[in-house]
Amino acid sequence: MTDQVQTVSYRDLGLDSQARNRILRNTYLLLSLTLVPTVLGAWMGVATGLSYALSGGLGLVVFIAGIFGFVYAIEKTKHSAKGIAVLMAFTFFMGLMMSRLIAMVLGFKNGNELVMTAFGGTAGVFFLMASLATVIKRDLSGMSKWLFVGAMVLLVGSVVNIFVGSSVGMMVLSMMAIAIFSAYMLYDIKQVIDGGETNYISATLAIYMDLINIFQSLLALLGLMGGERD
């Protein structure tokens, strides 16, 4: 990965498949590196109990502010290697914010198994979507508006369920999130393969967010359906 990130369109320059594969490899490499600070952030949140301090309204404010702040910073620095450092800081933050859910699931007797199952399920979805993206020949850019609508419906439903507190609602929302962000992952990977996204930092950010949403939704669903109390 070089300091200067390729941002011009493959179609405009007529670059061959080797150039596209290089961007895709850089994206996958950077994506694998993001797991390290994510795990560290989650571990710190669970080990220190900070995860519980970030619950409720305070946690929501910190989460929303952090998301917008980091995404803005990443977009401003994505044309240089500085963007990688900002992205890594963001993934640590995301691990920290996920730690409350992870701590809750670890409170079950079979908590460790549930976390590993969610991790394995997320990895399985990634490999399936990555494989599909390489064999599907049609242009998937038209999916974006439908995926956006689905994400907005999911967001509204999640906000409503915060006040309702329905376990059934949470299960339905989790299943919806898994489906929507799996489709988003297919779309985001296909964008890189087709040359619609040529900045590997932006591509990594998009796919990382897909992975995080799928993992959290799987973990919540497994906790609701399979959590065993002592």
pLDDT at 166: 79
pLDDT at 20: 78
pLDDT at 9: 42
Residue 1 domain flag: no
Q: pLDDT-based confidence at 182, cuts 50/70/90?
A: very high
pLDDT at 53: 74
Residue 139 domain flag: yes
What's the CA gap between 10 and 172, in Å, rounded? 40
Q: Please, are residues 201 and 108 in contact by the beta-carbon 8 Å criterion?
A: no
Q: Please, are residues 205 and 87 in contact by the beta-carbon 8 Å criterion?
A: yes
Residue 108 domain flag: yes
Residue 5 domain flag: no
Where is 112: in which H helix or E strand? helix 111-135
Select the more confidently predicted residue: 94 or 139.
94
What would the mean pLDDT of 20-34 be, rounded to a whole number? 92
Position 96, amino acid: L
Residue 135 domain flag: yes
What would the mean pLDDT of 19-44 be, rounded to a whole number? 92
Q: pLDDT-based confidence at 32, cuts 50/70/90?
A: very high
Residue 115 domain flag: yes
- Residue 1 CB: number of other CB atoms within 10 A? 15
Determine the 3-state secondary structure of 197 from DSSP: coil
Q: Which domain holds residue 180?
A: 10-226
Given CA atoms 124, 206, 139, 12 in this order, what sign does their dihedral have? negative
What would the mean pLDDT of 162-187 be, rounded to a whole number? 90
- The alpha-carbon radius of gyration of the chain (Å, integer) is 18
Number of domains in the chain: 1
What would the mean pLDDT of 218-223 be, rounded to a whole number? 93
Query: 151 to each of 24, 100, 178, 181, how far by Cα in Å?
Result: 25, 23, 11, 8
Q: pLDDT-based confidence at 217, cuts 50/70/90?
A: very high
Q: Across all residues in the chain, what is the average pLDDT?
A: 86
pLDDT digits (tens, 9 = 90+) for 52-92: 776 666 677 888 888 999 999 999 999 988 999 999 999 99
Threshold 0.85, pTM exceeds = yes
Residue 87 domain flag: yes
Residue 116 domain flag: yes
What would the mean pLDDT of 201-207 be, rounded to a whole number? 95
